[in-house]
Chains A and B, each alone.
Chain A
């Protein structure tokens, strides 16, 4: 050890290791872990080692979960769940409070264990992960207390399967378990293969506080164990991890009726405007891509900097990079520890090499890395052309890309030029610009003049291929609840015959009525040049356009071009909906007659038209009242949670209520600012094609509602597979539901697939539809001068 005199010359920091003695004692005592099922640990089965990525040493043996293990855990959860849900909210709150308290009482132990298993620096585990874990349980102790009042009529989903990643092992556990338990669910959680140990320590805490057996079950294992959990008899799968695995889970759960939330990858923009505090933005980068070795799904991995300050910013970033300390994760003066596993290290190295091979320049810290362990020097890449493999692919390591932009418009264009939409960070001292950028970037979370700020009360989750569903706060809790839905009703069948129907001699009577498609505000002929006969009880009512994939393509293009609708005032949208009601009312008798000719009784027809008018009034009323919220998170922060429209939605309507079904689905979607491509009742399309004329004279902008008649599931499939469709609602058969869910994996659009229901029921209208028509964007605005 150098003397005080020597150090006075060097003024070095010296080593400052956190002690891991307690944790090593615990690991030595346990040695080998089974699963935590039904309130007790099972005997270890076939095991694998969990290792310390900073040293390569084995920490403990954990059991590779089998399908039988998963089944046992699901059975335990199933047995425990009714009792847990039946507890008064206050009692569940006590348990969650106990979990929060015990996490706090074990904070150092858990932090050190997390460091050993994951390689993250002790500062982060100690100051960020573990406090957020405790905060999450506290917050949700509150939700347990309040859930019955805050969400009247809601019930828990039942048993939730939860699969979490290795980058924030205990924090992701808390994000999953706390809301599930607060809502009255029981869970089976599979921690990541690389980092199972804090989950097992948490299981011991569950046992320690005497949490009712079976409410929390932890099964360790690899991706195979996860797949078994996805396939098991659970009511929901909540997954955080890679987009690739998310797609597989979407596919595997298609048609099963399991609720699904996905929190996936990202390539989040980090926008540095010319007027920003550049030093602050540099620190923002440190807190983004050099946080947790860059293994953060919401990391600001694409730095976009205004050309006017690019040189200064890059210089300061390079200088700052040189001061980062990389090394022993247990050292309290270390900024970056080890990547989680040699596999990940090799992956990051490979991606960075491919980037430089494609012409990018790597600016890297010239720090001495430890001789062993999964360490990677932090850095950033400049000169990344759009074709460079890392321009769009997630590196998931401590290396960002840096690109310049000229104008705020270009910044938005670049920011949104990605398949992902998880987070964004915006740096400017101009409040107008900050809010403008925050509104325009496609991201579930936007940090203004900050980065990677989290709170249990603020929703977190993605748009686009970053997934769907939210974690944290009110929106997060909703994803662990269900509401009573309108009763299921059988669906009518539709047949398509493009050939003339000579036997229908004269049935269509009078002057020909031509029901065209409605695309971009125009009545258009189907691209196929074909029509199909619509008949009721053997009587041909008329011909409808036989829409095809190209009509869907055109309709989606028209809808995409109608983006101004989402930016119009809610009052404006309300006015259009009221006007629609007015015009519909003026033609009520005609619509009723259309329904009667299709098989409705006279009074049912009148009721359906009347309810449709009511729907228009209802969603006109809702248009400017479905508010976001300002959430209490940290002091001196305004945290906004704003419901945003998806953009272009596909809506595939039921056959049974040809007018009301369509109106009940399309109106909430457009009231929130979405543009819609609707596939109306295939067997009875005329109320919808007539409605197109009403829409046309109701001041609705062109392209906001597009109607394509034709074979339902064929068109639904095109919508499901269309990457420009951001969300899809489908009403129809079980096969159709499975089909659209399975085919939505391309862009991972959220799909609301339901059986036909009683569209006259009160549940067929209301805020549940508006929640489905929007996604929450959380905007963090720290303030203070």
Chain B
């Protein structure tokens, strides 16, 4: 990710999104047909599942997280597949794209990942609700960076979207981007609380104008997290922003995706709507935790021809 040209952002340009039309039933239809129109089988399925791991922000964001819990997750990030599976797939090395934790867990994560090259992403800015004074939110970003975070997942103020205060959303997000410095910033839109797909499109566009390197669907804490229709609309916003600025912004669905099937579905969405570039970790991340276990089971079956049991795989 560090090599990718960053999104420089722009001033707020409301005419890029003011009149946007997003037809919800049509978006739902397209999302449903995407995975009916494409599938991957055999070696291709295995490769696409491996790619999902390669693009995964392996995540723990729980109130009961402890350094030991985070260390175990980091061990899984270093070695997401059992050795016999990796060997069976003909691969030498594989890690997840990143680890994603709360700010207070960054230090143990950095320590646990030392030498692996796996970056630590930290949520910040009053995750998940974001309803803290802005200076505190910015301070939290700086704290996470001090602790060694290489990527910052910020949450936006949903209130600005719901009130249509795009200037406030832009300025606040730009301030966060500035606080992130060299660290890449993923802007979490919490789409389950924005409700309409038009809001999702507009919030996507404003946060990209404010310089977000990634736009991300959800915190995982909303009632509804990543869905395909929401992801479709965000992908189209990415495309439109790219067409206007030339900047490539990344996309991260997060929350609610648990299965290998989900992993394939979101990759199909990326490939169909944005193209192959969005199937690599510099532009695509899957924010997930339990998904990895299902992928590992599927790949075990692919390699051995026997159905696997999760208790025989290392816990995340």
Residue ranges of B at the interface with A (Cβ–Cβ < 8 Å): 19, 21-30, 33, 36-44, 46-48, 50-51, 54, 89-91, 196-198, 236, 267, 271-272, 276, 279
Determine how close the nearest CB of chain B comes to the CB of A4; give it in whole angstroms.
5
Residues of B within 8 A of A284 (CB): 26
Q: Are B91 and A5 in contact (CB under 8 A)?
A: yes
Q: Are B22 and A277 in contact (CB under 8 A)?
A: yes
Alpha-carbon gap, A335 to B39, bound state (A): 12
Minimal Cβ-Cβ distance residue in B for A9: B47
Q: Are A278 and B21 in contact (CB under 8 A)?
A: yes
Q: Are A4 and B38 in contact (CB under 8 A)?
A: no
Choose, from A12-20, A36-44, A158-166, A218-226, the stretch at the interface. Answer: A12-20
Q: Are A277 and B23 in contact (CB under 8 A)?
A: yes
From B47, B50, B90, name the one whose CB has the most chain A CB atoms within 10 angstroms. Answer: B47
- The 15 listed contacts between A and B (C-beta, < 8 Å) are A2-B43, A4-B43, A4-B46, A7-B48, A8-B54, A11-B48, A11-B276, A14-B44, A275-B19, A280-B23, A333-B39, A429-B23, A449-B25, A785-B24, A785-B198
Q: Are B25 and A16 in contact (CB under 8 A)?
A: no
Interface majority SS (helix, strand, loop, mixed), chain A: loop
Known: A4-B43, A4-B89, A280-B26. A785 touches B21 (CB 8 A): no
Residues of A within 8 A of B39 (CB): 13, 16, 332-333
Minimal Cβ-Cβ distance residue in B for A332: B39
Q: What sequence of 0s and 1s flags, for each residue 773-785 of chain A, a beta carbon within 8 Å of any chain B beta carbon? A: 0000000001111
Assess whether A761 is interfacial by the CB under 8 Å rule: no
Alpha-carbon gap, A449 to B24, bound state (A): 10
Given A5-B90, A277-B21, A450-B26: 7 more A-B contacts, CB < 8 Å: A11-B48, A14-B41, A276-B21, A283-B30, A429-B21, A785-B196, A785-B198
Q: Are A450 and B40 in contact (CB under 8 A)?
A: no
Q: Are B47 and A15 in contact (CB under 8 A)?
A: no
Determine how close the nearest CB of chain B comes to the CB of A39; give it in whole angstroms.
38
Residues of B within 8 A of A782 (CB): 25-26, 29
Q: Are A11 and B28 in contact (CB under 8 A)?
A: no
From A13, A335, A429, name the one whose CB has the most chain B CB atoms within 10 angstroms. Answer: A13
Classify chain A's interface size: 35 or more
Minimal Cβ-Cβ distance residue in B for A333: B38
Alpha-carbon gap, A283 to B41, bound state (A): 25
Q: Are B37 and A123 in contact (CB under 8 A)?
A: yes
Q: Are B43 and A14 in contact (CB under 8 A)?
A: yes
Q: Are A15 and B41 in contact (CB under 8 A)?
A: yes
Q: Are B26 and A283 in contact (CB under 8 A)?
A: yes
Determine how close the nearest CB of chain A comes to the CB of B161; give it in whole angstroms.
15
Q: Are A275 and B21 in contact (CB under 8 A)?
A: yes
Residues of A within 8 A of B90 (CB): 3-5
Assess whether A279 is interfacial by the CB under 8 Å rule: yes
Assess whether A323 is interfacial by the CB under 8 Å rule: yes
Q: What sequence of 0s and 1s flags, for each residue 263-287 of chain A, a beta carbon within 8 Å of any chain B beta carbon? A: 0000000000001111110011001
Q: Are B30 and A323 in contact (CB under 8 A)?
A: no
Residues of A within 8 A of B23 (CB): 276-277, 280, 429, 449
Determine how close the nearest CB of chain A comes to the CB of B276; give it in whole angstroms.
5
Known: A8-B51, A277-B26. A127 touches B43 (CB 8 A): no
Alpha-carbon gap, A13 to B39, bound state (A): 7
Alpha-carbon gap, A275 to B21, bound state (A): 7
Minimal Cβ-Cβ distance residue in A for B232: A279
Minimal Cβ-Cβ distance residue in A for B299: A4
Determine how close the nearest CB of chain B comes to the CB of A242; give it in whole angstroms.
29
Alpha-carbon gap, A279 to B27, bound state (A): 9
Contact of A16 among B22, B40, B46, B198 (CB under 8 A): B40
Q: Are B236 and A16 in contact (CB under 8 A)?
A: no
Contact of B29 among A1, A12, A127, A450 (CB under 8 A): A450
Number of A-B contacts (CB under 8 A): 104
Contact of A784 among B25, B41, B44 (CB under 8 A): B25
Alpha-carbon gap, A453 to B276, bound state (A): 31
Q: Are A280 and B43 in contact (CB under 8 A)?
A: no
Alpha-carbon gap, A782 to B39, bound state (A): 27
Instruction: Give me the 6 closest cross-chain CB pairs, A-B, nearest first.
Output: A14-B44, A280-B26, A7-B47, A782-B25, A277-B23, A277-B21
Determine how close the nearest CB of chain A comes to the CB of B223; give it in whole angstroms.
17
Assess whether A636 is interfacial by the CB under 8 Å rule: yes
Minimal Cβ-Cβ distance residue in A for B88: A4
Determine how close the nearest CB of chain B comes to the CB of A639; give it in whole angstroms.
13
Q: Are B37 and A3 in contact (CB under 8 A)?
A: no
Q: Are A127 and B36 in contact (CB under 8 A)?
A: yes
Alpha-carbon gap, A278 to B27, bound state (A): 11
Determine how close the nearest CB of chain B comes to the CB of A407; give it in whole angstroms.
19
Q: What sequence of 0s and 1s flags, for each residue 430-453 of chain A, a beta carbon within 8 Å of any chain B beta carbon? A: 000000000000000000011000
Alpha-carbon gap, A123 to B34, bound state (A): 11
Residues of A within 8 A of B25 (CB): 449-450, 636-637, 782-784
Determine how close the nearest CB of chain A comes to the CB of B207; give it in whole angstroms.
20
Determine how close the nearest CB of chain B comes to the CB of A391; give it in whole angstroms.
28
Minimal Cβ-Cβ distance residue in A for B229: A784
Residues of B within 8 A of A637 (CB): 25
Residues of B within 8 A of A275 (CB): 19, 21
From B23, B24, B89, name the one whose CB has the most chain A CB atoms within 10 angstroms. Answer: B23
Q: Are B30 and A4 in contact (CB under 8 A)?
A: no
Q: Are A1 and B30 in contact (CB under 8 A)?
A: no
Residues of A within 8 A of B24 (CB): 784-785
Residues of B within 8 A of A11 (CB): 47-48, 51, 267, 271, 276, 279
Residues of B within 8 A of A127 (CB): 36
Determine how close the nearest CB of chain B comes to the CB of A311; give it in whole angstroms.
13
Determine how close the nearest CB of chain A comes to the CB of B218; give it in whole angstroms.
19
From B21, B28, B41, name the one whose CB has the most chain A CB atoms within 10 angstroms. Answer: B21
Residues of A within 8 A of B29 (CB): 283, 450, 782
Q: Are A335 and B37 in contact (CB under 8 A)?
A: yes
Alpha-carbon gap, A4 to B51, bound state (A): 10
Residues of A within 8 A of B38 (CB): 13, 332-333
Alpha-carbon gap, A637 to B90, bound state (A): 49
Alpha-carbon gap, A784 to B229, bound state (A): 12
Residues of A within 8 A of B27 (CB): 277, 280
Residues of A within 8 A of B28 (CB): 784
Known: A333-B37, A335-B37, A785-B196. A449 touches B43 (CB 8 A): no
Q: Are B50 and A8 in contact (CB under 8 A)?
A: yes
Q: What sequence of 0s and 1s flags, for each residue 401-444 of chain A, a beta carbon within 8 Å of any chain B beta carbon? A: 00000000000000000000000000001000000000000000
Residues of A within 8 A of B197 (CB): 785
Contact of B26 among A12, A13, A333, A449 (CB under 8 A): A449
Q: Are B37 and A4 in contact (CB under 8 A)?
A: no
Alpha-carbon gap, A5 to B33, bound state (A): 29
Residues of A within 8 A of B51 (CB): 8, 11
Residues of B within 8 A of A14 (CB): 40-44
Residues of B within 8 A of A333 (CB): 37-40
Minimal Cβ-Cβ distance residue in B for A428: B21
Minimal Cβ-Cβ distance residue in B for A781: B25
Residues of A within 8 A of B196 (CB): 785
Residues of B within 8 A of A1 (CB): 42-43
Determine how close the nearest CB of chain B comes to the CB of A15; give it in whole angstroms.
7
Q: State which residues 1-55 of A face B: CB under 8 Å.
A: 1-5, 7-8, 11-16
Alpha-carbon gap, A277 to B240, bound state (A): 13
Residues of B within 8 A of A450 (CB): 25-26, 29
Q: Are B21 and A4 in contact (CB under 8 A)?
A: no
Determine how close the nearest CB of chain B comes to the CB of A658; give it in whole angstroms.
55
Determine how close the nearest CB of chain A comes to the CB of B314; give it in whole angstroms.
21
Determine how close the nearest CB of chain B comes to the CB of A489; give it in whole angstroms.
55
Residues of B within 8 A of A5 (CB): 47, 90-91
Minimal Cβ-Cβ distance residue in A for B277: A11
Alpha-carbon gap, A5 to B276, bound state (A): 16
Q: Are A13 and B30 in contact (CB under 8 A)?
A: no
Residues of B within 8 A of A13 (CB): 38-40, 44
Residues of B within 8 A of A4 (CB): 43, 46-47, 50, 89-91
Alpha-carbon gap, A583 to B51, bound state (A): 83
Alpha-carbon gap, A5 to B93, bound state (A): 11
Minimal Cβ-Cβ distance residue in A for B271: A11
Alpha-carbon gap, A280 to B28, bound state (A): 10
